[in-house]
Amino acid sequence: MLKLNDLFFDEYGLSYDCVLSPSTYLYSLNVAGTSLACSNIANLYTYSKKNQNINIPLPIIFNFLGGWHHAQRSSASGYCYVNDIVICINDLKKIHTQILYIDLDLHHCDGVEEAFSDCNTNGTILIISIHHFSPGFFPGTGQLPQQINMTNSKNKFNINIPLKEGICDTNYFALFKRVIESIYDLNGDQKSSANLPDVIIIQCGADVLVGDPHKVFNLTPTSIINCVNFINTHFCQKLNIPLIILGGGGYNFADTSRCWVQLVASLSNMTLDNDIPEHTYFPLYGPSYELSITPGLKKDSNDQAYLNFIVNSIKEQIK
């Protein structure tokens, strides 16, 4: 039988996967504070660019402590005690007029979508989430509007890309590229388009990797790196706008580290040795002790017909 305290904590999501500990409050402050620091840097850059009174280089801002996209306004959820992404976006709105948020995590960004679902009818914030969806898979949201018979103006700015099991690097990036190109005209004069972003946030959850305990997708870091580089090249560098990179899921800690360090190196134009140097946590990287990750043999259940259906559905959604 539940005690009163248990019922109280459960009401605010502070049970099961979000249990309280003595460090929860400080941890939550650090998560929110670091992502708020990211938005402060982006705001400073954009403000200085508009006013031409401070000369600072175009920033790529990393915060792998951030990216906790499930937390709701009044409850924790899915290991997320505070939704630092929502806090970051709200702060960016002080300076920026068009915010693009992209979520690459295995799970749908239900907390972010819910936060802006009723106050984003003018499209100030465009949310794109590419994730796994199947019955019973957390958080149970993120289908295409056509799949749930719900089409309205709110959904025009919440783009969901629900994938089946086993997606491979080639199909993942090809689909991501097709979706972005269906939303934005990358071959035209981008600077003439009113809906182009003036800041971009990408959540880079590493639970999509083949070695993650979820064992859902068949991806290597190449997929995340290709997606981020595509956005950086075609938007951030071309339009001279800041890019914020956040962390997220990733429950094989060695592979998550492999992924994020390769992402930083790629965006920094650095070449890394494939052999991992010896350090305190070196044994966790066995048996290969290499930076690279090899895809598995899992079947890709996302055939070309289904991928085409996703793209065509999104084109219809944003008309």
pLDDT tens, position by position, 225-264: 999 999 999 999 999 999 999 999 999 999 999 999 999 9
pLDDT in tens, 159-190: 999 999 999 999 999 999 999 999 998 766 55
Domain 24-317 = CATH 3.40.228.10: no
Using the predicted structure, report yes or no on whether residue 192 has a pLDDT greater than 70. no
Say how far apart CA 195 and CA 208 lie, in whole Å: 30
**Active site includes 214?**
no
- Contacts with 308 (C-beta within 8 Å, 6 or more apart), sequence order: none
Model confidence pTM above 0.75: yes
Amino acid at 52: Q
Q: Locate 197 and state its tokens.
A: 């972003």
Of 30-39, 67-76, 114-123, least confident by mean pLDDT is 114-123
Q: Are 228 and 177 in contact (CB under 8 A)?
A: no
Task: Residue 50: name the closest of 38, 61, 42 by CA.
Answer: 42
The one catalytic residue in 70, 96, 108, 131 is: 70
pLDDT at 145: 83
**Where do the domains of the chain lie?**
24-317
Q: What is the mean pLDDT of the chain?
A: 92
Using the predicted structure, report yes or no on whether residue 191 has a pLDDT greater than 60. no
